[in-house]
Amino acid sequence: MTYDIYDENKNYLIDIEEISASIDDYLGGQLAISEISQLVDYFLSGDEYC
């Protein structure tokens, strides 16, 4: 299984710091809002994304 590029600690969970990094990329024009939405869904579910 591959890790999400924002899963910096590679635990198959997205935490708030990783969402923050994705928002920085969004503000820099490198990420779509739909991709942030997916990360937030992972975070709120508390489940592994794989």
* Structure tokens given for 38: 């997916």
Per residue in 3-50, pLDDT (tens digit) is: 999 999 999 999 999 999 999 999 999 999 999 999 999 999 999 998
33: nearest Cα among 16, 15, 41, 14: 41
Three-state SS string across 14-49, please? CCHHHHHHHHHHHHCCCCCHHHHHHHHHHHHHCCCC
* pTM beyond cutoff 0.85: yes
User: How many domains does the chain divide into?
Assistant: 1
Range of the domain at 14: 1-50
Give CA–CA dist 24/2, Å, rounded: 22
- Judge whether 21 and 28 are in contact, CB under 8 Å: no
